[in-house]
Chains A and B, each alone.
Chain A
């Protein structure tokens, strides 16, 4: 018995000593002034830049580069900057685009950037038919004219400069990597030309990028040499890491915490206009929302300013139409509905619907607090004018499936949209162009006049962007007249980061932070 007690105490003392020793002597190597830590809530699924079509761009945009960058920070003005192509031009008929590539650019695996390499990369992306490959649908042929000249020919005039600036399916990667295929990428490999190369991917824990010494843009002493994406799924833990200085950015932001964090001098909160906007699509084929006057009653019963200012707590502006004001093609003169219950009542009377027919169903993503609060406010306002609204929250996969089936489709469904590349036509075609089988046109909108306007705008984008804008504006007016959706919020990106980081200027065209642009004002160590 004595021996058992001896073993018990000896084990206890040993474990206690190991624990104590670990607390005080374990190495802590996370921080130095040139390391930036981003607390992210999800791991990477698709490492293949030809396939990635989701949150991966946060990481990939620092490893890979497109031919052209779109600078969305200039507001509604269209600004394109050279990336891997230092200049480009288009033929008069708008069918042949010529890109002159930079000299002396190398991929992370040592391969040289040539027109042949770029062609191989784009050809693979297109033929793979994954992710956002369809942005290249106009392309008929890609040619490597000489070592650094790339020609892209299209079957109809298409804005290839804008397409080439996309954050999806437009990255140029090493030809050797292309040979490796998706399997090679998904083992945690990457070979782009960007400022950072992938150093480590420890699944479910962290992704580490390190400076690529041979980056064509060069390096200065103050820049960030290491980027760590730490996977932290709890919002509260992310906040604690930020406050403790163990993370520089966080990705999960609880609205309740923002005001408290804003008062902390060590934390900075930036609100940046994004290209994302939110709307409730109204089903134009299903009773009672197939009645135009009834839909007009709905769009006037939405309290636009309360939703933008209270529900979104400053992280949204009231939308004016479907094209956000931060993108070219936005129409500031567009007359959009305002919150007016009296007017809503009038339209309701004009609808001729009996009181027992004034019932609608509203579907939205259950996990979104903003949708939930906005839908409840809407339900209250509708009740005041005698419309009964049934709220049907659910996971996106479920509500989307139901909405695509005319029999189970709701009268209104939440939607947040952003373009695959910098074009207003993405909203106009994706959400409202006539579809035989609805995919995202969950308004079930079918208007030949509208379809013609949008098609004409797309044809003009390559050669006459002003002309395209005129067509898009006319198409937008039709959407407003037909009350196909409640366009209520242009969203702002809320970026929370340590205040000692300078150069945090997110570009709405890319869902990422460009870590190459950052500096730390005063070293923490």
Chain B
């Protein structure tokens, strides 16, 4: 087991180097220098030349790459040209915001999607099944930004119940002191014992989590349903049924187990995708996450930030895949033996 993990980690390292190399070359060969954006409104030619010298942009590409790798190995991606802050700080700040949002959205999707998928399979071709299927098709079909705006207009604009944007109320952020330990406001506010700030963070999470979870919830429902239907037709289910085991046990203890492997694949891929792909929800709700940072970095040719954020997303995606593969083995003894 340990050997497998070590092999996978080594492979991860190679993939990461490949991803970083391709991103480095692409960012350098595409037209446009980052210094114009970095220096503000009207830089002089001397200021531009000085900035290029400081950033090493006038050195040969290979030298630049060597310097980058040397720093990156030490976890130093340099300073963002747009924010002026160390990229690792920026990415940590943004990534923890995204992780909080995405993790909750996925948990909600599982919490609701799994039972719905099971019920749709069990009550196949009934009104329940039709309703669940139609609902899931609709959830996938509605564009995320549109759904986000609709929810904003209804819950914030019409009812005035929920906030429009941000992670926490402005005044609360000012008046409640809570140290940023994990970067998750829910955890950090609880650790600091600031219940008011915790409640404000929860309020701000409701709409973006709902928006982000709906599409993945629909996928989970569909996968669970189809896998359950397949499992219910297996011989071992007929045997269990013949033994007189209660229906609920058959569904959740025996049939659902068979859906876990494909479901895990979907969950893993969705989670990895959402880390970089929650950008639309982040924009609609002004969630200061990693997606918005990535777009800003790309649009402004912010080389250090592009490299830092690419590393984070690639690393997170590979790590999730590794964990999912390990979980396969934990769940299915056959895979362990092979």
Contacts and interface: CB of A to CB of B under 8 A. Distances in A.
Interface stretch (B61-69, B135-143, B164-172, B225-233): B164-172
6 contacts: A22-B198, A26-B200, A27-B169, A45-B82, A132-B40, A236-B149
Given A26-B202, A237-B152, A205 B288 contact: yes
Interface string B70-91: 0000000000001111000000
B248 to A, nearest CB: 7
A4 B252 contact: yes
Interface stretch (B31-39, B259-267, B308-316, B325-333): B31-39
Given A53-B40, A204-B288, A208-B174, 19 more contacts: A12-B111, A22-B202, A26-B196, A28-B171, A29-B169, A31-B171, A45-B82, A46-B84, A132-B41, A132-B42, A168-B41, A200-B174, A205-B167, A233-B292, A234-B284, A237-B165, A237-B285, A396-B36, A401-B32
Contacts of B237: none
Interface stretch (A79-87, A149-157, A224-232, A374-382): A224-232
A21 B206 CA distance: 12
B34 A244 contact: no
Contact of B301 (A237, A397, A418): A397
Interface of B: 31-34, 36-37, 39-48, 50, 82-85, 93-94, 111, 115, 149, 152-153, 156-157, 160-162, 164-175, 196, 198-200, 202-203, 206, 248-249, 252-253, 283-286, 288, 292, 299-301
A523 B283 CA distance: 32
A75 interface: no
B114 to A, nearest CB: 10
Contacts of B84: 45-46, 186
Contact of B34 (A26, A199, A397): A397
Contacts, number: 164
A505 interface: no
Interface string A178-189: 000000001000
Nearest to B51: A130
Contacts of B115: 8
Nearest to B80: A45
Nearest to B112: A12
B173 A401 contact: no
Interface in A30-74: 30-31, 37, 43, 45-46, 52-54
A230 B163 CA distance: 13
B249 A1 contact: yes
Task: Tell me which of B93, B203, B283 has the highest count of chain A C-beta atoms within 10 A of its own C-beta.
Answer: B203
A30 B169 contact: yes
B27 to A, nearest CB: 13
B31 A401 contact: yes
Contacts of A11: 111
A240 B161 contact: no
- Most A CB atoms within 10 A — which of B48, B174, B252? B174
A402 interface: yes
A506 B43 CA distance: 26
The 5 closest A-B pairs by CB, nearest first: A29-B171, A53-B40, A204-B288, A22-B202, A398-B32
A213 interface: no
A395 B32 contact: yes
